[in-house]
Amino acid sequence: MRRHLHKGGAICILLAGIATLPLVANAEVSRGQILASTCFACHGTDGKSPGTIPAIAGYPPEVLERQLKGFRDGSRAATVMDRHAKGYTDEEIKLLSEYLGTLK
Ligand code: HEC
């Protein structure tokens, strides 16, 4: 009886290991997507803002990049985006703009 329980335990651990494999694969989210997720608090969960805040979904990536860099260097007037854009490097702006460009 004891031996039987032991065997069952080993199989359980093995199955648990196999079951977690697909979860690891699904967890692959692009860096651009993670960076862009901070934008959705204000710009709507799909980048289509519900209120007066402009939508950011479906812009060509180059346009978003130019706008964000303009906010960052102060050449584009802003209330909050100037402060927000300062937190991103050129590479991060590129990655999140590419991701946002894929949203329709
Ligand atoms: C705290 C709220 C807030 C967050 C967070 C935020 N935005 Fe904004 N965004 C605004 C507001 C408000 C404007 C209008 C300009 C202004 O007043 O600063 C704006 C304007 C913009 C514009 C100009 C759009 C146009 O057509 O003129 C772009 C592009 C933009 N945001 C991109 C982003 C991206 C990308 C992120 C995430 C990295 C982000 N925003 C995060 C509030 C926010």
Residue nearest to atom 24 of ligand 1 (CA): 54
Judge contact between 73 and 65, C-beta under 8 A: no
Rg (C-alpha) for the chain, rounded Å, is 22
pLDDT of 10 > 60? The answer is no
CA distances from 33 to 9, 18, 83 (A): 40, 28, 20
Which one has a higher pLDDT value, 28 or 27?
A: 28
Nearest to 56 by CA among 96, 64, 21: 64
**pLDDT of 37 strictly over 80:** yes
Quick one: pLDDT at residue 90? 97
Which atom of ligand 1 sits closest to the CA of residue 97? 35
The candidate with the shortest Cα–Cα distance to 61, out of 93, 29, 83, is: 93
Give the model confidence (pLDDT) of 40-89 as tens digits: 999 998 889 888 999 999 899 999 999 999 999 999 999 999 999 999 99
Q: Does ligand 1 lie within 6 Å of residue 79's CB atom?
A: yes
Give the N- to C-terminal CA distance of the chain in Å, as an integer. Answer: 60
Q: How far apart are CA 54 and CA 66, in angstroms?
A: 16
What local confidence, expressed as pLDDT, does residue 7 receive? 60
